[in-house]
Amino acid sequence: MSSMSDNRQQSSRLRSKFTSAINVAGEIKKQVKLAEMEHGFRGKEGIEYREIQERERNETEKARLENELLEIEENLADKEIDLNEYKELITRIKKNIKDLEADIDNANQTDLPSVEAFYRQKNRGTFLDKKRENEYTKRIDKEKDERSTNITNWGNEIRALLKDNKYFDNKINESNNIISHLKQKKREIERKLSIYDIRGGIKIKIVKRPIKPTKPTVRKMAKPTKRPAKPTKPTKPTKPTKPTKPTARKATKPVARKPTIVRRK
């Protein structure tokens, strides 16, 4: 029994707390609504409040746009520096490729002298010494090997430089796309900032809002226009009513009575 009474007391306490919380919430909602109506929708104070709010909003938006514009300008400057560096590298690569191609052409066009001519060139026009023929042959073969090795190496360098050239061409195209995108974004932000008056601060256009009604206005229905009355048909003459007869009461059937049995003593 004691546990049931405790449960009842606990439930009643919880119910009272719940109702008090609902009352407090309703009061707070009411106060908020009153404050909103006072500051946002009524009279001269409401208009001034809206002007202050609009001014603060405009100043915040202007500061945000200016910061964004600064970031875009910094990124744009960095990308333009990168683009110029890529262009310089491309110029150097093309010059190196041209020099290597010229070296390969010169190596292919110049012919090595024969053993006898090589000997005469080294020994001031004297005839070939048969004893030293092998030595000069080895020197000429060595020069041929060096030349072919150089041509192969120069070809490999040209191929590597062409790969670098393609890589930096892609980088230049990417940088150009980023720069054009940043310039477009910069123009958009400058266009947004153009709504502000630089000489006299921020231009604020206050739109006076109508007073918010507390209750919705009921639209009155238009009265229907009166139509001309239709012509009435002639009424037929009423027949004379017959006098009603009194309702006869139905006779009830007599109830058959049981015969009384007389018992003799």
Dist. CA 92–CA 85, nearest whole Å: 11
pLDDT in tens, 53-111: 777 777 888 888 888 888 888 889 888 998 999 989 999 988 888 888 888 888 777 66
Q: How many CA atoms lie within 13 A of 108 on its CB side?
A: 10
Residue type at 40 in one-letter notation: G
Q: Where do we find the tokens 């520096």? A: 81
Check if the beta carbon of residue 112 is closer than 8 Å to that of residue 146: no
Q: Please provide residue 10's backbone torsions phi and psi, each rounded to the nearest 5 degrees.
A: -65, -45
Q: Where are the domains of the chain?
A: 41-193
Check if the beta carbon of residue 93 is closer than 8 Å to that of residue 171: no
Q: For residue 32, what pLDDT is reported?
A: 63
Picking from 178, 226, 173, 199, the residue whose alpha carbon sits closest to that of residue 77 is 178
Q: For residue 199, what pLDDT is reported?
A: 40
